[in-house]
Chains A and B, each alone.
Chain A
């Protein structure tokens, strides 16, 4: 547990580093933050007034210390783009991303792991080749192409799926926001029409992201399983006459779990951060889109806040993975 304690201690240090680097990048960019806030048309008196108000006339170290002070009080400042506090914005945007990424990772695990195992067990067969091609396509076709294709086929041509956004227009604004997860909120409100509409809207973007995850998870699972299936304990199990399913799921699979958990944790964290293209194509108001728009508009409070949340998500998932190692494998201290 001492090692785990060290990992826990490294969290604030890493967060401090993350804040420092992001802050410095924001300040050394060749963009005047005041122009980013007020725009090109702003007159000089208004520019000067705001520069004073925001303390941007002070030295960089002083600005950083002031920012840290506010941060420790939970104040991430206000977003230029929305005029809301960054904390409120994150409260609005992050659940949308979390909902999307969670469904996508569930698809990734439920489909990707069995596919990877199947490919490894039938190494060299047509099934293996088919799975590898399927995974290669998922990993190499850009997500925005997949997204647009998906919209074209399932929404425009076949009419099997609804269009962009999180819910049908008819239900827009009907569900009171409690958790920020539209599906959950609709369930809490017992509004079944809104629930099914939200589920329908979630399926396409989650499916596209899920396919991307499936491709990665299946490839990694296949590689881990091939290693495991070549081990002596598997040969022993087979020699003892155990059924193939028992050999695979009771002997080989548990031994790849530790490595697989790392893959899943990183994959999930990647989805939380990297869903921006999918969010844009499907007009999904998530954190990736918020971060991108903020970056393009040099909205540094928003960029810092969103980066911090993503960084914390990464660290949280890593910690969870560390904990899971200990549960899965008693040899890990």
Chain B
């Protein structure tokens, strides 16, 4: 019998059913559209002269060409991209690049040497956060137009103000800041002499596989194929959806609403691995997680105490129990994957040895210390594990969890005693981390170089000199050997306990292939991703 109640229920259901039916059929992403779920709230700007975060760096790598890129087959070399070849003068101060004529901007115009010169001059003149990668060679606003020049349409010449290792220069040019922008298009959007910086914040003007169509902060990034790309991408559109919750990412993959997900936790990765339909791409990242001991603390001024800490930590226990799948033990300042990185891990937990070293340093009963660390996962758990490990050798660690930038502020003011932190390499060259962890030519407050060694009052003239020597060594092999030696010395005596290296993982859904990552975000390519 049709009652009023059943009629109302049926009416309500009929309003829902048609919509439900359409959602039910959505079991895969649309053809030709590659969908990725990722946390993308780190994006600040897509301007290559400003981009310094992971997601925008990765997107720029897919939208811009560069003179050279890191060689994915041999990490001690760079591979040509826009450059067909390059010649280096005998003194190493002049590098002349011959350009290919095959790369075209989205406007259809061929990339030429004037675009290359403009892009580098622009990076120097703007001198935004990543600007130092280029200005460290000695380029300034005043000299860049004379030293970074287009000889003709297909020849670009870079004259270095001082001698630099060629491999160092080339690796730096392979960074995001080395992306070549469309000079004509960019200058049409110059606002008050900003060289198009404001405009390029939320668009792109490159000759890569894709161009940025839309960026809605903390929502989505949409890329469409560059119609004049050298090689037509498999998918005409890439949609990156901001999905901050890892569980929601995995659900999207399971339901076919995402082709690739990027930020699964250790537990979710284990679950994803159990599904045979999924493929997992992973790569060690150019970052290192470390303990920094401030040498202004009397205990840490003693090398035996620093060494004791290195033997006290249970590296394998931390990685296997707290961060399986997403970290690996790494005990050098160069993460595995970067040129010259040492792959061995000499330190194992040895409580007796650590205690003996503490006793030798004059602290047989240990001491009390504070440790600043980020208040987010997995740092909280790692900090507690470090605290427990050090307790076993008699050192009482009082934990000071804080917001990430609060920890950075304290470290830059050199007011920490000990900290747990991470450091990502600035560019694909060993100098980036060698300088950060070893170089401190002036330990005073007025120093011009205030990176990690300075921030921990680690004043080591020998290592500092080695960093300076390596950066001007023209023999590439000899240069890499120098970084090997530096890593060995830094392991022994620096106030840094190198713990582990993050492993980036991407889980590809059913039928998806071709998503490959490398040690730096620039190696992640979207153009080759295939869907069944």
A residues touching B (Cβ–Cβ < 8 Å)? 29-32, 35-36, 38-46, 49, 80-84, 89, 92-93, 148, 151-152, 155-156, 159-166, 168-170, 172-173, 196, 199-200, 280-283, 285, 289-290, 293, 296-298
Contact = CB atoms under 8 A, between A and B. Distances in A.
Contacts of B244: 280, 283, 289
A92 B215 CA distance: 11
12 contacts: A41-B52, A49-B127, A89-B217, A161-B23, A163-B248, A164-B241, A164-B243, A166-B219, A169-B241, A172-B239, A285-B216, A298-B403
B239 A31 contact: no
A95 to B, nearest CB: 12
A289 B19 contact: no
B419 to A, nearest CB: 12
B257 A293 contact: no
B223 to A, nearest CB: 11
Given A156-B255, A172-B239, A151 B128 contact: no
Interface of B: 19-20, 22-24, 26, 29-30, 33, 35, 41, 43-45, 50, 52, 127-129, 131-132, 201-202, 213-214, 216-220, 222, 239, 241-245, 247-248, 251-252, 254-255, 257, 402-406, 408-412, 423-424, 426, 448-450
B19 A35 contact: no
A169 B402 CA distance: 37
- Top 4 nearest A-B pairs by Cβ distance? A285-B219, A82-B217, A32-B409, A40-B408
Given A84-B201, A159-B23, 11 more contacts: A30-B402, A38-B129, A83-B201, A159-B24, A159-B255, A162-B26, A165-B220, A168-B26, A169-B33, A281-B245, A283-B241
Q: Which of B128, B216, B242 has the most CB of A within 10 A?
A: B216
A163 B251 contact: yes
Nearest to B452: A40
A298 B33 contact: no
B44 A46 contact: no
Given A39-B52, A46-B129, A151 B251 contact: yes
B19 A200 contact: yes
Contact of A196 (B22, B216, B248): B22
Given A32-B412, A39-B129, A161-B23, A169 B257 contact: yes
Contacts of B423: 40
A100 to B, nearest CB: 13
Contact of B44 (A83, A173, A290): A83
A199 B19 contact: yes
Contacts of A38: 129
A31 B45 contact: no
A163 B252 contact: yes
A46 to B, nearest CB: 6
Contacts of B20: 159-161
Contacts of A93: 218
A322 to B, nearest CB: 35
A292 to B, nearest CB: 10
Given A35-B408, A172-B239, A200 B23 contact: yes
A152 B222 contact: no
Nearest to A283: B243
A46 B128 contact: yes
A82 B243 CA distance: 17
Contacts of B408: 32, 35, 40
Given A169-B239, A196-B19, A283-B243, A30 B406 contact: yes
Given A35-B409, A156-B255, A148 B247 contact: yes
A163 B257 contact: yes
A81 B41 contact: yes
Contacts of B202: 83-84
Given A44-B450, A283-B241, A170 B216 contact: no
A170 B213 contact: no
Contacts of B23: 159-162, 200
Contact of A29 (B216, B222, B247, B406): B406
Nearest to A203: B19
A41 B19 CA distance: 49
Nearest to A164: B248
Contacts of A293: 41, 218
Nearest to B45: A83
A150 to B, nearest CB: 11
A156 B26 contact: no
Contacts of A163: 248, 251-252, 255, 257
A148 to B, nearest CB: 6
A199 B127 CA distance: 46
B403 A43 contact: no
Contact of A81 (B127, B217, B245, B406): B217
B220 A170 contact: no
Contact of B222 (A32, A36, A173): A173
A179 B411 CA distance: 45
A30 B409 contact: yes
B175 to A, nearest CB: 12
A119 B47 CA distance: 59
B245 A41 contact: no
B442 to A, nearest CB: 12
A42 B218 contact: no
Contacts of B424: 41
A127 B247 CA distance: 36
A39 B448 CA distance: 17
A94 B202 CA distance: 20
A165 to B, nearest CB: 6
A265 to B, nearest CB: 28
Contact of A285 (B43, B218, B257): B218
Contacts of B403: 31, 296, 298
A31 B257 contact: no
Given A29-B406, A92-B216, A281 B248 contact: yes
Nearest to B250: A156
A159 to B, nearest CB: 5
A210 to B, nearest CB: 15
